[in-house]
Chains A and B, each alone.
Chain A
Amino acid sequence: MPAEQPALEVPEERAASPERPSRKRAGRTPRQRRRTIMAWAFMLPLVIVNLVVIVGPAIATVYYSFTEWSGIGPAEFVGLQNYRQMLTSGEFYEALLHNIIWTGIFLTVPIAMGLLGAFLLSQITRFQMLFRIVYFIPYVIASVVNASIWENLLDPERGIGPALASIGVPFLDGVAFFGDQRLALPSVAFVDNWHWWGFVLVLFLTAMQSVDRDLYDAAKVDGASRWHQFRHVTIPGIRPTLVFVMLMTIIWSLLVFDYIYILTQGGPAGATEVVATLMYKEAFARFEAGYAAALGLGMSFVSGLIVLVFLYLRRRGWEI
């Protein structure tokens, strides 16, 4: 017979804590119930829209990822075949590698430019708004327009290369930015970054303006240089924004599509193919909608994994 277990004692102050509401519904007042119903009534339209346009298609995508389906007509259930095809496809891994390179570029270049630009702008008061607008404008221009502008500017026959050559600066003459396999991916990333970094700058600037000025004054009193102020006051002060931007950069980089599709459509010879353009091609050119669904879910899985890692680290006490 087991020894008698001592009864679990609940501390009196915790058991009686008025801040911890009882889970028993019976304890709710009619007023509380009305408020709950009202809250759901307000949320209901959004929930319905969400179910129809997000949850429904998402479930359909999961289903179609297990089928062989052209996008038209009946789908044939094929189990895990599409996922096996994805995991053994060299084309998929090459596209994924390009996504990773793209992520690396966007985790460094625009964030470094945004941080530097925001810090410099935060030091001035005159014309600050003008610069903010100027840097922000590319972000609000349609991607098709931005891409067309740069497509013309970087044209090997009629772009800035030949123009510079005509005034005696020939180093860019004849360079096929989007046609050379080695240059195509960084060139498209350059164009995308051109419109993106201004947005990042404005986010950082807004965050920097909320950093307590007294911290800078204290640092100055302690003899901190501009660099030390940036490193030890600004960066810790904007850490939540910085982490948010980095997290979103990773997710958006895994889903990147528009600039690549407009400028190179994944070419030349697959040099700029990313998973999203591959997925589009599978669905609308090769008519492999089932396989495209598996590719989409694969990328969603990777993105979800990154968010989970982020949340896990946060729970473990990381200041992110």
Chain B
Amino acid sequence: MYRPMTRKSFLANGGKAFVGASLAGTLLAGCGGQEGGTGELTYWSALEGAGPRRYYKENIEKPFEKANPGIDLKVQFQSPEDLDRTIRTALQGGEGPDLVPTPGPSFALEYIDANLFIELDEYAEQYDWQDKILGWALESGRLEGKLYSVPTEFETMLLYYNKSLFEEKGWEPPRDRDELESLAEEAQGQGIVPFSAGSADWRPTPEWFMTIFWNHYSGPEALYQALTGEVPWTDPVFVEAVDLHNQYFQNGWYGGSVEKFFSTGSDAYHTQFGDGEAAMNMEGSWFLFEVDNFFGQAAGNDNEWDWAPLPSLVDEVPLQIFELGIGSTLSINQRSQVSDAAAKYINWLFSDPERAAQRMADVPAVFNIPIPIEREDFPSNMDPRVADVLATLSEVTSKGNFGYTTWTFWPPKSDVYVYEGMEQVLTGDTTPGEYCAELNRIFKQELNAGEIPPIIRPETA
């Protein structure tokens, strides 16, 4: 397999001979790279929206360059839908940015297998990342004991509820399965959709709910065993979770009906939720970024929102489980001539908790990096509900109470089947048992091919 030489190793070997040194100098001049981790540093970002992009320029790019004279950070924004395709093409062609983002560990795994990322262990030791980054986050970037990527945006699943509607009806956020189902029945009886939902503009939406049901019904321990190949997906604990999820759908609790779920887009169901036509919304922490657009004056209603942890659906599963999801990772291109500068950027992101907390406060959900953080670390002007999510998540997951999101820990083909196959369950074309059997078949193939991303053990948190 072709293994391109890194600049560091090139310099180390090249320094032994005059000719080598001359050649190294020529190459560095050609690439604009310099000694000591300086030079032009390229980064392609999937950041969406003019606001966050402007914020990035002012509050990340400029301060980073100011703190690191000699590094010229060149950021190019692309849509998240296009970025991975663009990066695949560029990396395959021997190009691409110095700092390479991916949509998650299973995507990063492919690039690691193709030897396109450098190992980060030396940098991790040099900059003490084990003290700056949450344990599970660092583990998710390791393959066979070597660190290749660092998560730069983490997420979890939450139960959002229309607080004003709940106060009006005298409801409380559900704490277990009985309360959840009673509340859903009561809401539906009053003509209110229990859970706003739809997949018209994001077809993988059903995997959010399977993530919830597998973690809160089957439990993280069972999932860990299944993801590591110890138990099959046909185990009754997984089939029952699929069946329960299907029952909720057939009851019309999600979006009103299966057909409406398939044909409703996110703007429509978020509006429904904000207006009080739906009581709750099971969605990821990414919704924190735009939830205020659907409540209060901005949305033309007087409603308020709040959130609660998703309830455990069986007694055996701990009460507070937060599924871990990684929205993006950052790695360093094997061909980068400025890998030291790239490592400085990654380190800068994680180095100042106060600055990181300010970013999380200013643009909710977008800049959520996995660092140890407590409530008092957040600025006083931060929305207390958002601060509560982040502090609770940091606290609970550091104790090992975390679950697994399908888009982060399932290999690619299995992940696609999780939501596409679920559509067939919802339409009645497939039974929960058949669904799990097919998932098991696909998963086994990927397991045998070594395509499973790193699965974090709870004790490594």
Interface residues of A (CB under 8 A from B): 70-74, 151, 154-158, 174, 176-181, 184, 263-270, 281, 284-288
Bound-state CA distance A266–B200 (Å) is 11
Q: Are the C-beta atoms of A155 and B264 separated by less than 8 Å?
A: yes
Q: Are the C-beta atoms of B263 and A179 separated by less than 8 Å?
A: yes
Give the segment of B130-138, B221-229, B240-248, B423-431 that binds chain A.
B423-431
Q: Which one of B111, B264, B268, B424 lies within 8 Å of A269 (CB-CB)?
A: B424
Residue from A179, A180, A184, A264 whose CB has the most chain B CB atoms within 10 Å: A179
Which residues of B have CB within 8 Å of A151? 200, 265
Which residues of B have CB within 8 Å of A178? 200, 262-263
Supply 30 A–B pairs (Cβ within 8 Å), ascending by A.
A71-B88, A72-B111, A72-B116, A73-B114, A73-B115, A156-B264, A157-B256, A157-B268, A158-B268, A176-B257, A176-B259, A179-B259, A179-B260, A179-B261, A180-B259, A180-B262, A184-B262, A264-B200, A267-B203, A267-B420, A268-B259, A268-B427, A269-B420, A269-B424, A269-B426, A269-B429, A270-B423, A284-B85, A287-B110, A288-B413
Q: Are the C-beta atoms of A285 and B412 separated by less than 8 Å?
A: yes
Which residues of B have CB within 8 Å of A74? 1, 114
Chain A residue nearest in CB terms to B426: A269
B313 within 8 A of A: no
Which residues of A have CB within 8 Å of B424? 269-270
Which residues of B have CB within 8 Å of A156? 259-260, 263-264
Chain B residue nearest in CB terms to A273: B420
Which residues of A have CB within 8 Å of B258? 179
Q: Are the C-beta atoms of A287 and B203 separated by less than 8 Å?
A: no
Shortest beta-carbon distance from A46 to chain B in Å: 24
Shortest beta-carbon distance from B271 to chain A in Å: 8
Q: Are the C-beta atoms of A287 and B412 separated by less than 8 Å?
A: yes
Interface 1/0 per residue, B425-443 and A, CB below 8 Å: 0110100000000000000
Interface 1/0 per residue, B177-199 and A, CB below 8 Å: 00000000000000000000001
B416 within 8 A of A: yes
Interface size on B, residues (CB 8 A): 36
Given contact pairs A72-B111, A73-B113, A286 touches B257 in the complex (Cβ within 8 A): no
B337 within 8 A of A: no
Which residues of B have CB within 8 Å of A155? 263-265, 268
Q: Which one of A267, A287, A288 lies within 8 Å of B423 (CB-CB)?
A: A267
Interface 1/0 per residue, B74-94 and A, CB below 8 Å: 000000000011001001100
B272 within 8 A of A: yes
Shortest beta-carbon distance from B114 to chain A in Å: 3
Q: Are the C-beta atoms of A177 and B263 separated by less than 8 Å?
A: yes
Shortest beta-carbon distance from B155 to chain A in Å: 20
Which residues of B have CB within 8 Å of A176? 257, 259-260, 262-263
Top-7 shortest CB links A-B = A179-B263, A73-B114, A179-B262, A176-B259, A268-B262, A269-B423, A176-B263
Q: A74-B1, A176-B262 are in contact. List 18 more A-B contacts (CB 8 A).
A: A70-B110, A72-B88, A72-B113, A73-B92, A74-B114, A151-B200, A155-B263, A155-B268, A174-B260, A176-B257, A178-B262, A178-B263, A179-B259, A179-B260, A268-B199, A268-B426, A285-B416, A287-B413
Interface 1/0 per residue, B267-280 and A, CB below 8 Å: 01000100000000
Which residues of B have CB within 8 Å of A70? 110
Q: Are the C-beta atoms of B1 and A286 separated by less than 8 Å?
A: no
Given contact pairs A73-B113, A284-B85, A181 touches B257 in the complex (Cβ within 8 A): no
Shortest beta-carbon distance from A2 to chain B in Å: 65
Bound-state CA distance A213–B206 (Å) is 61
Bound-state CA distance A319–B81 (Å) is 47
Q: Which one of A72, A157, A270, A288 lies within 8 Å of B260 (CB-CB)?
A: A157
Shortest beta-carbon distance from A17 to chain B in Å: 55
Which residues of B have CB within 8 Å of A284? 84-85
Q: Are the C-beta atoms of A71 and B92 separated by less than 8 Å?
A: yes
Which residues of A have CB within 8 Å of B113? 72-73
Bound-state CA distance A174–B256 (Å) is 10
Among B1-39, those with CB < 8 Å from A are 1
Shortest beta-carbon distance from A239 to chain B in Å: 41
Chain B residue nearest in CB terms to A91: B420
Bound-state CA distance A268–B426 (Å) is 10
Which residues of A have CB within 8 Å of B262? 176, 178-180, 184, 267-268
Bound-state CA distance A270–B422 (Å) is 11
Which residues of A have CB within 8 Å of B427? 181, 268-269
Bound-state CA distance A181–B203 (Å) is 14
